[in-house]
């Protein structure tokens, strides 16, 4: 759901083919500089020195716990083409922390419902709860302690927040295109209330009482009549799913 574990610090193909190694000592200096500023009342970050294995980054947030050797993190940054400069390493660490697993409480207080692929082959979609951290949307995987009551509470709250996401609507002939300017996956958030989308497209001059949607996660959502939607899906060249608007409520949660 993002552009890699280290965000936009990663370079292009040429730099990845000839990467500049990220040294553990340099990464330790970057961690000492940036991690204290990321600590909150819920999020605890520290670098622990281990005589046997070298320094380790420890991340704790409610029920989530992550322990990663700096040597492994440095190797991953090297493979991703992160520049070995203090500024780039600090930015990569911030991006890595932003992409940490979402805890149950964060999902309950900030989760948003979106549609995303449910399989690696990109043939099926389902509802998913994501949490926005800066410019990235991180999916929530319920912890083993999350029972049915927690699932219902988190998902219900996420639907409410999705209904409040502001989306841009552009009318192109018989098609309404819905998009989000900063987080493309949020274009699907409006589908929690398709009747409202129909009303807004009608107010813009396009009557879609029998609306079908063409969903390609991370792309604008196309809304049109069934025949036009089928034609769009055939022309897009990307994996997508066509659904009548009444079928949206029956999609599974992932």
Residues in the chain with pLDDT < 50? 1-2, 9-10, 13-14
Residues 118, 229 within the same domain = yes
Residues 119, 82 within the same domain = no
Confidence at residue 16, expressed as pLDDT on a 0 to 100 scale: 54
Confidence at residue 2, expressed as pLDDT on a 0 to 100 scale: 46
Residues 85, 122 within the same domain = no
Q: Identify the domain boundary among 65, 98, 131.
A: 98
3-state SS record for the chain = CCCCCCHHHCCCHHHHHCCCCCCHHHHHHHHHHHHHHHCCCCEEEEEECCCCCCCEEEEEECCEEEEEEHHHHHHHHHHHCCCCCHHHHHHHHHHHHHCCCCCHHHHHHHCEEEEEECCCCCCCEEEEEEEEECCEEEECCCCCCCCHHHHHHHHHHHHHHHHCCCCEEEEECCEEEEECCCCHHHHHHHHHCHHHHHHHHHHCCCCCCCCEEEECCCCCEEEECHHHHHHHHHHCCCCCEEEEHHHHHHCCEC
Residues 238, 129 within the same domain = yes
- At 1-54, the pLDDT tens digits run 446 788 754 455 445 555 689 999 999 999 999 999 999 999 999 999 877 789
Residues 83, 199 within the same domain = no
């Amino acid at each position: 759901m993002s552009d890699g574990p280290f965000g936009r610090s990663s370079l292009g193909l040429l730099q990845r083919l000839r990467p500049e190694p990220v040294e553990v000592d340099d990464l330790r200096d970057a961690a000492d500089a940036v991690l204290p500023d990321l600590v909150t009342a819920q999020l605890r970050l520290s670098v622990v020195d281990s005589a046997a294995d070298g320094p380790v980054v420890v991340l704790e947030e409610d029920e989530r716990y992550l322990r990663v050797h700096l040597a492994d993190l440095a190797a991953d940054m090297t493979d991703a083409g992160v520049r070995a400069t203090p500024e780039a390493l600090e930015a990569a660490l911030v991006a890595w922390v932003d992409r940490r697993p979402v805890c149950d409480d964060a999902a309950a207080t900030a989760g948003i419902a979106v549609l995303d692929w449910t399989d690696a082959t990109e043939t099926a979609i389902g509802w998913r709860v994501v949490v926005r951290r800066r410019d990235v949307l991180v999916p929530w995987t319920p912890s083993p302690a999350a029972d049915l009551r927690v699932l219902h509470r988190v998902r219900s709250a996420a639907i409410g927040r999705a209904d409040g996401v502001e989306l841009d609507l552009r009318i192109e002939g018989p098609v309404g295109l819905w998009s989000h300017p900063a987080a493309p996956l949020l274009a699907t958030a409006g589908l929690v209330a398709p009747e409202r989308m129909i009303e807004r497209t009608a107010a813009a001059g396009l009557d879609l009482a029998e609306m079908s949607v063409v969903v390609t996660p991370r792309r604008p959502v196309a809304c049109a009549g069934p025949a036009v939607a089928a034609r769009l899906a055939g022309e897009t060249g990307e994996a997508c799913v066509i659904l009548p608007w009444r079928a949206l409520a029956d999609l599974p949660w992932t």
